[in-house]
Amino acid sequence: MLSESRPAACDAVADDLAAVDEQYVLSPAVGAHVESCLRCQAEVAGYRRLRRTLRSLADHPVIVSPQLEGDILARLDVADGRPAVRVPVAAAATIGSIAAAAGVIVLAARHRRVLRPAG
């Protein structure tokens, strides 16, 4: 479904809907629209589900083996025939942050099913 098929009122409140959580309260005008629009109600419910799912990930500790990095580098060496190079910690943190952000964007896009250009 393309964003052009959405009513103008829905487009006007879309950013507010994405911000809804337990601490964020919709303005009276946006709240009135959401009360009367099933599409926007579903979108708010979806955002809340997505936030709950992301929060639940914090409850599952990730146990990383100390030799994991070495195992990965060794397999990369075998796969491409070149010795792997260790990534500096700061660069690894940046790469990890970008990968995490990309994952959240993909989840949000799949959930929302409607992508709008920024701006």
Read off the pTM. Answer: 0.45
Domain boundaries, the chain: 3-112
Could you read off the pLDDT of 57-66 as tens digits, one per residue?
A: 887 777 888 8
**CA 46 to the chain's CA centroid:** 12
Could you read off the pLDDT of 70-112 as tens digits, one per residue?
A: 888 888 888 888 776 666 777 777 888 888 888 877 777 666 5
Residue 59 DSSP one-character state: T
CA distance 36 to 55: 29
First to last CA, the chain: 20
